[in-house]
Structure 1
């Protein structure tokens, strides 16, 4: 090892040690808690993998898995389709494009607490604006946050709404790297708009697409405030995701071991999905 490398390692070592301490200690402590039957105060006794076994055999856990999958799939692909459409629209010459793009960023920029409060005002009760409007059209009075099916739909739509700007920015950045000469050559060869989109646009932005899918998957699976502020996981656990179930188990039922076990299972699933998508990124880059 050269002197320059040793000097570099010595300079970087304090920062690396601090990062390892900040990240490794909570992880190790959580892993220890997941194999014990303690509470927030008492560490409890060692129970091995019982917490994981109980978690994986719990009907509540699998209900949460099912909703988490739905919430994540809708959040990822719904926001991607919306962001892709807006990014393509913003590449055209439309009046006030800069102002329009700025306004589209508001759902992502505004704090989720403010956004969820506004949505609660719009849909929470039969007297809210949207149910009143639907009733005036003669379509009944839907209970958007009190009916299990409508609650799931509302939460998923809200997630798509606040996530579309992020996807739009990711795709817009990717589209700027696509040479317009490629489209001009495709026009000369007689390619239709759909053929250009399918065989030029999508392959060119594939790497950015997979990256955005990884990030949005993480955002959706770990999204606690969106669900909790709108529905609290209800009604009748219809919108209880894994992260909400983990929170309830630890901080409401005071069962730290099972709650942390849920979080570890959730983290492992995220790692698997991220690795799978990362392989696709490498293929797209190659």
Structure 2
């Protein structure tokens, strides 16, 4: 019996099975492994301070601002001292006889400013990007010069534009006066002030669009244009059928970014017109972000100001979601 037992153990050893019956292929017994393990736990411990910092820097201010939108306080009032009004600040935006007309006019100008800023800068940027793809003398120099409106600080640009158009003695009104167009007050007339502000936004934004479109056009294979030309497509047909579909993904991304930039653009308007001139209801160039600033820091009413800001954020999220859906569709196609 002992000999048989020893023989069996030798046979098990040859097959790679230990005396205990567990071989190299047998499952190990003991504590089951976790998905994270010790390395994951260590990474989580090290990442925890950064997560706490992100919460304090982002979530807490947003929550505090939302609490202010439900109260009727001022910038210096503590949340525990301000009267709680619930959704009244949001309701007043649409129903209050004093506040609703102001908010409506500010909303209309914000839409105009955003639409002109997004599509105006995109059209100019795309046209220049297409032009710079051609072989023109001094191509590299033109690229650098065309980036200047975006590189130069907006304070400098707005000061220069104020010098050009602010008063009747400015160069542009005097030039118009010399050719027979008199008494042009660009920043004093409500319509002209809106036109100037929108053009100024296109001026400082088209270099960003030009860079986005240039990067998109650089990925377009020239053989595609040659094939379209052999099929008898004209330049406009090739642009509509080849160029625009290929760069559509980058186009939608640039529209999302520029929409956010335009809606939240405070310095461009404030430095040029400060929201004026007055139209009886509010300033002709008062956008929603300017209106929120006026209510928060001039009227000392943080409730309506933060309510406006949260409604702006909601609209931006909806627009961004719609455009991102278009981005996914463009990527699939």
Aligned with residue 277 of structure 2, among 223, 226, 235: 235
Match of 1:84 in 2: 126
1:169 partnered with 2:211: yes
Match of 1:39 in 2: 74
Runs (4+) of structure 1 exceeding 2 A deviation are 2-14
- Partner of 1:151, secondary structure, is helix
Match of 1:221 in 2: 263
Match of 1:259 in 2: 305
Match of 1:98 in 2: 140
Q: Deviations over 1:63-82 (max 9, x none)?
A: 00000000000000000000
Match of 1:16 in 2: 51
Larger radius of gyration: 2
1:21: how far off? Answer: 1.6
Distance 1:56 1:20 in 2: 33
Distance 1:188 1:16 in 2: 57
Which shows bigger deviation, 188-197 or 4-13?
4-13
Tell whether the 8 Å contact from 1:132 to 1:141 is kept in structure 2 after alignment: no
Match of 1:130 in 2: 172
Q: Deviations over 1:89-112 (max 9, x none)?
A: 000000000000100000000000
Q: Return 5+ residue gaps in structure 1 as ranges.
A: none
What root-mean-square deviation, in Å, do the aligned CA atoms of Structure 1 and Structure 2 show?
A: 1.0
Q: Return 5+ residue gaps in structure 2 as ranges.
A: 1-34
TM-score normalised over the length of structure 2? 0.84
| Count of residue pairs brought into register by the alignment | 286
Higher RCO structure (Cα 8 Å, ≥6 apart): 1
Tell whether the 8 Å contact from 1:83 to 1:164 is kept in structure 2 after alignment: yes
TM-score normalised over the length of structure 1? 0.98
Which shows bigger deviation, 113-122 or 46-55?
46-55
Tell whether the 8 Å contact from 1:250 to 1:259 is kept in structure 2 after alignment: yes
1:11: how far off? Answer: 3.3
1:206: how far off? Answer: 0.3
